C-alpha cells in the first residue's frame, strides 16, 4: 500500500514538473521577443540609454564600472555622456572621465545581420568632437568605442534600455 502511494506521488510530481517546464520556455521566449522589440524601437526612435558596466582599455585589464554613474544617453539630436576613463591623455592635464553634453552632428545606422545594429555618431560640444561607434545586439548588449584627439582609444560594454 505504501509503495502505491509513493508511486502515485512520484507520477503526480513528474507530471506537474513537465507541465511547468513548457510554460517556462514559452515565457522565456516571450520575454526575449519583447526585449528584441524594445531594442528595435530604441534604435529606430533614437531614444536610448546605455548603462555601461565594463571598461576595456587598450593597455591593461578590464575594469568593472558602476552602471548608475557611467552611461550614454541619446535623445534624438542631443546626447549626454558620463564615462570613466583609464588611459593616456594627450593634453597638459590628465583625463579621468569623459563628461560631455552636446549635439549629434551626423549618424549612420547600418544593420549587418538580423537584429545587430552598427551605429556611428559624430558628437560635439563647443570645440570638442567625439566619434562613437556602437554595436547593439538583438538582446540589448552594447559594445561601444569612443575616439577623440585628446584621449587614447577606449572601448566600453553595457546594456541598452529605452528612455
Residue 24 confidence (pLDDT): 57
Instruction: Quickly count: other Cβ atoms within 10 Å of residue 109's Cβ.
Output: 14
> What residues does 82 pair with on adjacent strands?
71, 99
What is the three-class DSSP state of 47? strand
Residue 43 has a CB neighbour count (10 Å cut-off) of: 19
User: What is the predicted pLDDT for the residue at 20?
Assistant: 52
pLDDT at 156: 94
- Choose among 131, 127, 82: nearest CA to 106: 131
Q: What is the pLDDT of residue 91?
A: 74
CA distance 67 to 56: 15
| Conformational region of residue 68, where left means phi above 0, alpha means psi within -120 to 50, and beta covers everything else | alpha
**Per-residue pLDDT of the chain in tens (163 residues, 90 and over written 9):** 667 777 777 777 777 665 555 555 568 888 888 888 888 888 888 899 999 999 988 777 888 888 888 999 999 889 999 998 887 777 777 777 888 898 999 989 888 777 799 999 999 888 888 899 999 998 889 999 998 888 888 899 999 988 8
Question: Residue 103: its pLDDT value, please?
Answer: 92
Q: What is the spatial distance between Cα 137 and Cα 143, in angstroms, rounded to a whole number?
A: 9
| Helices marked H in the chain | 2-45
- CATH (residue range 40-162): 2.40.128.410
- pTM, two decimal places: 0.76
pLDDT score, position 19:
52
Question: Domain ranges in the chain?
Answer: 40-162
| Phi, psi of 17, deg, nearest 5 | -70, -35
Please give the sequence-ordered ranges of beta strands (E in DSSP) within 12-150, or none if there are none.
47-57, 63-64, 71-75, 78-84, 97-113, 116-125, 128-136, 141-148
pLDDT, position 23: 54
- Residue 36 to residue 94: CA distance in whole angstroms: 40
Measured distance CA(141)–CA(139) in Å, rounded: 6
DSSP state of 66: -
Amino acid at each position: 500500500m505504501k509503495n502505491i502511494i509513493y508511486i502515485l506521488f512520484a507520477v503526480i510530481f513528474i507530471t506537474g514538473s513537465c507541465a511547468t517546464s513548457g510554460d517556462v520556455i514559452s515565457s522565456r521566449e516571450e520575454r526575449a521577443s519583447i526585449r528584441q522589440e524594445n531594442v528595435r524601437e530604441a534604435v529606430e526612435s533614437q531614444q536610448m540609454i546605455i548603462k555601461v558596466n565594463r571598461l576595456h582599455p587598450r593597455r591593461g585589464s578590464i575594469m568593472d564600472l558602476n552602471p548608475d554613474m557611467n552611461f550614454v544617453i541619446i535623445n534624438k539630436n542631443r546626447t549626454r555622456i558620463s564615462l570613466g576613463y583609464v588611459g593616456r591623455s594627450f593634453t597638459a592635464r590628465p583625463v579621468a572621465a569623459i563628461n560631455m553634453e552636446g549635439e549629434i552632428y551626423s549618424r549612420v545606422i547600418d544593420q549587418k545581420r538580423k537584429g545587430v545594429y552598427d551605429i556611428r555618431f559624430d558628437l560635439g560640444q563647443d570645440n570638442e568632437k567625439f566619434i562613437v561607434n556602437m554595436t547593439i545586439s538583438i538582446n540589448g548588449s552594447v559594445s561601444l568605442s569612443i575616439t577623440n584627439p585628446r584621449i587614447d582609444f577606449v572601448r566600453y560594454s553595457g546594456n541598452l534600455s529605452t528612455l
